[in-house]
Amino acid sequence: MTVYDFDTVVDRRGTNCIKYDQAEQRGYRKDILPLWIADMDFPTAPEILDKLHNVVKHGIFGYSQSLDDYYEAAANWFRTNFGWHPEKNWLVKTPGVVFALAMAIKAYTSAGDSVLIQTPVYYPFYEVIQNNSRKLVENPLVNINGHYEIDFEDFEKKIIENDVKLFILCSPHNPVGRVWKVEELQRLGEICKRHDVIIISDEIHCDFVFPEYRHTIFTQACPELADRTIICTAASKTFNLAGLQISNIWIADRSLRHRLKREVVNCGYTEFSIMGIAATQEAYLHGQEWHEKSWEYIRGNFDFLRGFLSEKLPQIRLIEPEGTYFAWLDFSGLKLDRKQLNELIVQKAGLWLDSGHIFGTASEQYQRIVMASPRALIEQALDKLEKAING
Ligand SMILES: Cc1ncc(COP(=O)(O)O)c(C=O)c1O
């Protein structure tokens, strides 16, 4: 069994990483402690690093492609971890999930068509809809005493009223941390089928599920809807490879697949990063142990956070996550308005978090913290917060 080190704080400054190196451009102090963007402060798995070193040693970075081996590695990951059996011809690679969402919106809808999302949600969902001149329709999730639930009546009503063509599901959900139950997915599916809505299921966080819960791939819950579903996955979150720019989109339906592929090709995107291909393939082949250990460590960060809040900051409530590496924190106990809360976090505490309002207007009192960092950084951030609040 390999021992992995997640405790060492690696200095990321000066590496062109958005998390640290863009603070000043974005109006923050240079020394702010950032826990906002969804990447990890850990180096990726040593197995993947070895593979990348070999690619570098070889030294030729020409146009690259990998079909059978790449598919086999990815498919094996999903078979082993989820009992899901995606077929080879379903796979469409894209340089990212957000890119795929934008392409799918173009492929399956026309300007002015309605696209539905469940808010609060990952903010690029808003951008890809609105930037492509589609109508944004919201089905707000309902926070019932700290547990977010789907309002199915509102979901169907919004679909009918707006003649919704496309639904983008976030599963598990960023930022509220829900891992949707089979019955919930099935109810969503039934409604989409009834009203001829195409479903894009963004499952990029599927590998981060707490032990008491189980992630279900959308078409496992609704196999009969495979002809109207697009499943988005990537190794980028799981193995901290976002900068290598590759994601895997699985589309069982031939016509839907071809429409998406045409859109990607029409953008002139036909080749993929040699590093992205090598790293993803290696991750899915040999990354299981690293993933399990890193996720265990992150769950330990959540335990630390829980203990810290209950002891020192009981005014702040953690929305108990079922999945994802995000802590979604409710600050309404402090009774501050949005400006005051921002001032507290940024100016007084010196923290750069993701402010709740960017995920949805009803979430002004929330902040999202990415927990995929060495414990020392999480401790430092919470100490800063505690001092800013308690003085
Ligand atoms: C739900 C969700 N989808 C997609 C992404 C980004 O995917 P990509 O970097 O592949 O565009 C993120 C990143 O945080 C995310 O949370």
Rounded Cα distance between 158 and 32, Å, is 41
Res 178: pLDDT: 98
Q: Determine whether the shortest distance from the Cβ of 96 to ligand 1 is under 6 A.
A: yes
* Architecture of the domain made up of 61-286: 3-Layer(aba) Sandwich (3.40)
**From the CA of 50, how far away is ligand 1's center (Å)?**
26
Res 1: pLDDT: 73
The helix/strand/coil state of 345 is: helix
**From the CA of 58, how far away is ligand 1's center (Å)?**
31
Q: Determine whether the shortest distance from the Cβ of 169 to ligand 1 is under 6 A.
A: no
**From the CA of 38, how far away is ligand 1's center (Å)?**
8
Residue 14: is it exposed, middle or buried by C-beta count within 10 angstroms (0-12/13-18/19+)?
Answer: exposed
Atom of ligand 1 nearest to the CA of 242: 9
CB 218 within 8 A of CB 224: no
**From the CA of 98, how far away is ligand 1's center (Å)?**
6
Res 67: pLDDT: 84
Ligand 1 mutation target, pool 92, 204, 326, most atoms within 8 A of CB:
204
Atom of ligand 1 nearest to the CA of 96: 10
Per-residue buried b or exposed e for 305-330, using 16+ beta carbons within 10 Å of the residue's own CB: beebbeebbeebbbbebbbbbbbbbb
Every domain range in the chain assigned CATH 3.40.640.10: 61-286
Q: Determine whether the shortest distance from the Cβ of 233 to ligand 1 is under 6 A.
A: no
Ligand 1 mutation target, pool 119, 203, 237, 246, most atoms within 8 A of CB:
237
User: Please, where are the H alpha helices in the chain?
Assistant: 18-21, 46-58, 68-82, 97-108, 124-130, 152-162, 182-194, 218-221, 254-266, 274-286, 288-312, 338-342, 375-390
Res 65: pLDDT: 87
Q: Determine whether the shortest distance from the Cβ of 382 to ligand 1 is under 6 A.
A: no
Give the CA angle between residues 170, 172, 173 to the nearest 5°: 55
Every domain range in the chain assigned CATH 3.90.1150.10: 18-45+288-390
The tokens describing 44, both together, are 């990726």
Rounded Cα distance between 227 and 247, Å, is 21
Nearest CA to ligand 1 atom 9: 96
Ligand 1 mutation target, pool 19, 98, 230, most atoms within 8 A of CB:
98
Residue 28: is it exposed, middle or buried by C-beta count within 10 angstroms (0-12/13-18/19+)?
Answer: middle
Res 386: pLDDT: 97
Rounded Cα distance between 44 and 335, Å, is 40
For tokens 């009803």, the residue is 362
Report the predicted TM-score, pTM, of the whole model to 2 decimal places. Answer: 0.97
DSSP string, 142-187: EEETTEEE--HHHHHHHHHHHTEEEEEEESSPTTT-----HHHHHH
For tokens 């045409």, the residue is 262
Kind and range of the H or E element at 2?
none
Rounded Cα distance between 88 and 103, Å, is 21
User: What type of residue is 242?
Assistant: A
Ligand 1 mutation target, pool 117, 122, 218, most atoms within 8 A of CB:
122
* Architecture of the domain made up of 18-45+288-390: Alpha-Beta Complex (3.90)
- Residues (pLDDT < 70) of the chain are none
CB 20 within 8 A of CB 344: no
Strands 366-370 and 317-319: unpaired
Q: Determine whether the shortest distance from the Cβ of 206 to ligand 1 is under 6 A.
A: no
CB 196 within 8 A of CB 349: no
Nearest residue to 195 (alpha-carbon basis) of 156, 235, 224: 156
